[in-house]
Amino acid sequence: MPFSKIYYLYFSPHKDYIRKLKNILGFVPGNMKLYRMAFRHKSVATPIKDGVKNSNERLEFLGDAVLGSVIAELLFKLYPYKDEGFLTELRSKIVSRVNLNQLSRKLGLNEFIEYDARMISYPNKQSSLLGDAFEALVGAVYVDKGYKFTKEFLLTRIIKPHVDIHTLEITETNFKSRLIEWCQHLSKDVQFVQVENPPGESTKMFSVEVLVEGEVCGLGRDFNKKSAEKLAAEKACEYLKVFETEDYSRSL
C-alpha cells in the first residue's frame, strides 16, 4: 500500500472520517478535498470566485452526467432488443431522485453531508439533499480516479449489490398519478401550480410547485411543463414518504 494511503488511514488527523468513507467506497480516496466538497451543501459553503461557492453543485453536475453514461451503457448491453423509449424510461427510474435518495441513505452518506440545519424547514431543498450528495460523490470519484475506475466502482460497488434493475423494470413510477392517488386515499387536497422562475432563470423554463393541503411539498423545473410537474411530484412523493406508506409500498 502506498505511503500516502497508509498515512491517510493511520496517521491523518481525519483518519476516522477516512476509514468510514473507505468502508463505503471500498478504496482509499486520493484527494480528500474533493470528497469533502462532495458532501458540502451550498447552505454551508463559502464563496471562492465570481460568486461560485465551494459546494457540491459542480461535482453534482459532473456526477449526474457520469452516472447517466454508465447506466445508459449498462442498459444498452443488458437489453439488446429494447427500444430507446424503454431504455430511457428505465434509466430515469434508476437515477430518479427518490431512488438516489434511498440509495444514498442505504449507503450511509447522510452521516457525511454538511448542511445548514435550518434547511429542515424547507422540504423542497431537503428532499434532494441525499441524492445530490450521491451524484457529487460520483463526480468526486471521477475527478480523483478517472472514468474507467468510476465505471467499475458504480457497477460493482453500487449497482450490482444495491440496485435491482429487473424489479425497477416492472415498477410503476408515475409520480404524479401516485401522488394524486395517495392524496385521494387520505382525503388531502393536492394542486400543481405554475410559478414564476427565479431571477436569472431561462424564460423558457417552467417552474411548478406541488401544494398538498396548501403546503409546498415539491418544486420542479424543466423546459416541458409536464416534465416539470413530474419532477415536482417526485420530490413531493419523497418529502411526504408516499412510497413508505404501508398500503403503497407493497406495490413496489
> What are the b/e assignments for 174-196, b being 16+ CB within 10 Å?
ebbebbeebbeeeeeebebeeee
The answer to whether residues 206 and 222 touch, using CB atoms and an 8 Å cutoff, is yes
Residue tagged active-site, from 57, 64, 229, 238: 64
pLDDT of residue 248: 39
135 is catalytic: yes
Q: Is residue 19 part of a domain?
A: no
State if pTM tops 0.85. Answer: no
40-65 pLDDT tens trace? 988 887 777 776 778 899 999 999 99
Is the pLDDT at 78 greater than 90, yes or no? yes
Q: What pLDDT does residue 121 have? A: 54
Q: Are residues 181 and 214 in the same domain?
A: yes
Looking at the predicted structure, is the pLDDT value of residue 10 above 60? no
- What are φ and ψ of residue 241, in 5° steps? 55, 45
**Locus of grid cell 453500487:** 158
Q: Looking at residue 228, which CATH number applies to its domain? A: 3.30.160.20
Residues with Cβ < 8 Å from 1, sequence gap 6 or more? none
- Report the pLDDT value the prediction gives residue 247, as an integer from 0 to 100: 45
Q: What is the pLDDT of residues 119-172, one digit of tens each?
A: 655 555 556 788 899 999 999 999 999 999 999 999 999 999 999 998 888 776
Q: What is the dihedral of CA 20, 25, 26, 31, to 10 degrees?
A: -90
Residues 210 and 122 in one domain: no
Are the C-beta atoms of 190 and 182 separated by less than 8 Å? no
pLDDT class for 251, splitting at 50, 70, 90? very low
Query: Is residue 137 included in any domain, yes or no?
Result: yes
Please indicate, yes or no, whether residues 141 and 75 belong to a single structural domain of this protein.
yes
Owning domain of residue 218: 175-249
Q: What is the pLDDT of residues 216-232, one digit of tens each?
A: 998 888 777 887 888 88
> Which of 151, 169, 187 finishes a domain?
169
Which entry of 57, 60, 135, 234 is annotated as an active-site residue? 135
| Cα 42 from Cα 49, distance rounded (Å) | 14
Is there a single domain that holds both residue 36 and residue 161? yes
End of a domain among 147, 169, 191?
A: 169
Count of domains for the chain: 2
b/e burial code for range 65-103 (CB count within 10 A of at least 16 → b): ebbbebbeebbeeeeeeeeeeebeebbbbbbbbbbbbbb
Quick check: is 58 in a domain? yes
Report the CATH number at residue 123: 1.10.1520.10
Tell me which amino acid residue 65 is: A
Query: Exposed, middle or buried: residue 24 (CB in 10 Å: 0-12, 13-18, 19+)?
Result: middle
CA distances from 29 to 25, 32, 87, 107, 141 (A): 8, 6, 33, 16, 8
Phi, psi of 168 (to 5 degrees): -65, -30
Which three three-digit cell numbers place residue 228? 416539470
**Known catalytic residue: 164?**
no
Please check whether residues 139 and 195 belong to one and the same domain: no
Q: Which helix H or strand E contains 59, and what residues bound it?
A: helix 57-78
